[in-house]
Structure 1
């Protein structure tokens, strides 16, 4: 019996490892992923793979160091807990007595615990809509005094302890407390902690093993991203590390050698209902945090009982600040799929590329011209008025079932401003929103973002939600409609904003049998599939298809 179980476990491990290598290998083959991955389960390293280059030419290696962004926050939180263990501070102390010259009357009721949990109400640097002067970091050093002066006089967003609002500023103040209480610079105190736990490849300075950041994903779209001085993120970011050191860090913080039992438990537990702790996010069974800086995205996730963990570090991201979050979402999705694979579940991976005779030509879909031309081992696909990946989502759903008919009606009512008529599709709260005029105000605000609105297109629906595209003269705005279990509208919210592109050529890769993969990720678009035949072209996306004829 034991032998049978062992054989089954070995077989599962082999399948899991193969699936994980396929996941990341194909992402790399499409030039989506450039970095290093380490995955450990059952006390064994299941995967430690390097993809792409650290500087455009030198291959990434396991000891390549990456800017880990906000993963730094957990190190800052750990340093604070060390000071608590040494009886130099208490978690519920007010911060002003520990800030010296950095104190502010606005913070007199803010505690250290609230800084750690982002419940202080202090406006955050490097985040929009915080009421602060918008500014960007630089390559030259900034003093802690000047950095704190950027937010010292800003009004609190809410009374301390009443709400959650992610705040880089709060962790900058934690760095200031570390300096004031320990008598050391923040960097020196942290380096002593790194040394204590033998994190030999973790520090604040770049060296010859450090990756360079890049904007973009495909090699022909890459741009050098700026390298900022770590002092601009003191306490909230700025640390460089490797997959090996972050893997070791998981082993450390889940061991009896880290802090004492009481403080270790506080470090590894959520402290607010939204699931945030001391530099950690809590997502179901997993404790994790992501990090991002220009051209860098990082993710560390682990299971506190099994100590299974996943570390993903990459030196690629989108450049546009409105798109940067998509880079983080992409890496988070890779981690989510990795956990599913570890649990023995099948996961969706990119299709295998194939060598296949390429088919080119000119086509027409609903008066839109589509040009397909050869590019070595792939195809360039371009259209007359939009990116090719938007052909499906700029085409109205066919009203061939109850849900799609409902979405078509919702779009028509919104487009004509008939909110009272739309109320019949809503639950109790949304009916009030419609009848009170609040929906009219909200729609007017959204319409102002697109210029003069031309039309609203319903392009996707399932039982839980539907998607609408509001087209305007200046840009496009996507809306998401949520349904309850009875099919009534629970809410309508902004889902994404896109600038108008008159024309954008996109690469399609051969999958075999006249089928091609239109890769949207490098552009921040949705991907699609194409079938190109002698007499027609067919686009497949979001469980829909549209076809056109050859010219």
Structure 2
């Protein structure tokens, strides 16, 4: 279960338990400052112990055009960290008996041929073993300029996924699938009778106290000074604001694109661990590794073993479990790590797409 969500421990001083290398002025703090000084990181980082931040740092600009700096309460595009919310939503409905992990896709959604609808299971969608979907990184853009409303984007994506053949026999391989998680969001909406967005707001963001988290449309992102603009790396020249691209999506979805703050993600880990969002059994179920991930995943991060659970990555680092998820896209690089046996959390949110693996790796090595 997630570390920060555990009930409060004894209120004795925690200073002895916090490694000096994690404290302000320590090795991690100095390394992070150096990365930012070299323009390799722009964003916010927080390290927490027993639910309380022990180090919080902000670097770079949320909006370079207006010289607006990133702040502790700046909202960032979470990219694939969003999948953790979708997994919790599915598990909540499963806990209520409205979704079964063994059930077939066709039980909940229509429009698929029998070899898909009557074969692929909810479990396989959650573990990226369904065979459904376009490559996570490829030449085909995941969105289109003409999808300029929430409904157009939702309908267009759903139609595109239904036109795809299976990439492999369900259950025989692991292959990361954004499209698979989009379908999980469709299932949440169908079963709950609410839009996916409203369901997550009402059943995850609100009860968890995530007051600064939401799914924002492209006009909202470009108008709100509290939202960090995504600066995408170019083959030559400076980084550019990705919101100006035709391929910046009108709104995020179940697979990527929620916006949140470091404080809200800490609140999320607490709510997941203390029974606010899920009972202990279901919280443990979704955060426990089920499918071995290939060595090519999470490059730059050392670990003894790497597994995918239900919307959460479960790694073993220095003999310790590290549970969470990463998220990367044009102008976004994020990582959420929880350390159950250390009762610690590391949150890195960035609006550059420069890899943040060196930062996450140092935090992992020191904490474990």
Shorter-chain TM-score above 0.5: yes
CA positional deviation for 1:283: 1.4
Cα separation, 1, equivalents of 2:239 and 2:53: 32
Go from structure 1 to structure 2 and tell me whether the alpha carbon gap of 1:251 and 1:149 turns closer, same or farther (over 3 Å shift).
same
Whether contact under 8 Å (1:38, 1:310) holds in the other structure is yes
Q: Which residue of 2 aligns with 1:243?
A: 262
Q: Which residue of 2 aligns with 1:33?
A: 41
Whether contact under 8 Å (1:70, 1:292) holds in the other structure is yes
CA positional deviation for 1:138: 4.3
Q: Which residue of 2 aligns with 1:21?
A: 29
CA positional deviation for 1:7: 11
Cα separation, 1, equivalents of 2:239 and 2:285: 42
Q: Kindly report the root-mean-square deviation, in angstroms, between the aligned alpha carbons of the 2 structures.
A: 2.4
Q: Which residue of 1 aligns with 2:315?
A: 283
SS in structure 2 of the partner of residue 226 of structure 1: helix
CA positional deviation for 1:137: 2.3
Cα separation, 2, equivalents of 1:342 and 1:281: 17
Q: Which residue of 2 aligns with 1:259?
A: 278
SS in structure 2 of the partner of residue 337 of structure 1: helix
Q: Decide which structure has the larger Cα Rg and report it.
A: 1
TM-score normalised over the length of structure 2: 0.80
Cα separation, 2, equivalents of 1:188 and 1:68: 18
Q: Which residue of 1 aligns with 2:333?
A: 297
Q: Which residue of 1 aligns with 2:362?
A: 337
CA positional deviation for 1:59: 1.1
Q: Which residue of 2 aligns with 1:106?
A: 115
State how 1:145-160 maps to structure 2 within 5 Å.
145-160=155-170
SS in structure 2 of the partner of residue 309 of structure 1: strand
Q: Which residue of 2 aligns with 1:76?
A: 86
Flag as ranges the 4+ runs of structure 1 deviating above 4 A: none
Q: Which segments of 5 or more consecutive residues in structure 2 lack a partner in the other structure?
A: 1-12, 294-306
Cα separation, 2, equivalents of 1:209 and 1:138: 26
Q: 2:249 aligns with which of 225, 229, 248?
A: 229
Q: Which residue of 1 aligns with 2:99?
A: 89
Q: Which residue of 2 aligns with 1:185?
A: 195
Go from structure 1 to structure 2 and tell me whether the alpha carbon gap of 1:103 and 1:13 turns closer, same or farther (over 3 Å shift).
same
- Is 1:212 aligned to residue 229 of structure 2? yes
Q: Which segments of 5 or more consecutive residues in structure 1 lack a partner in the other structure?
A: 1-5, 318-326, 344-551
Whether contact under 8 Å (1:69, 1:292) holds in the other structure is yes
Cα separation, 2, equivalents of 1:266 and 1:134: 34
Go from structure 1 to structure 2 and tell me whether the alpha carbon gap of 1:189 and 1:52 turns closer, same or farther (over 3 Å shift).
same
Deviations 1:111-162 (A, max 9, x none): 111100001011236533xxxx823424623342321221313221221111
Go from structure 1 to structure 2 and tell me whether the alpha carbon gap of 1:296 and 1:7 turns closer, same or farther (over 3 Å shift).
closer
CA positional deviation for 1:170: 0.5
Cα separation, 2, equivalents of 1:293 and 1:66: 12
More strand by share: 1
Cα separation, 2, equivalents of 1:302 and 1:255: 14
By relative contact order (CA 8 Å, sep 6+), the higher-ranking structure is 2
- Is 1:64 aligned to residue 74 of structure 2? yes
Cα separation, 2, equivalents of 1:11 and 1:80: 35
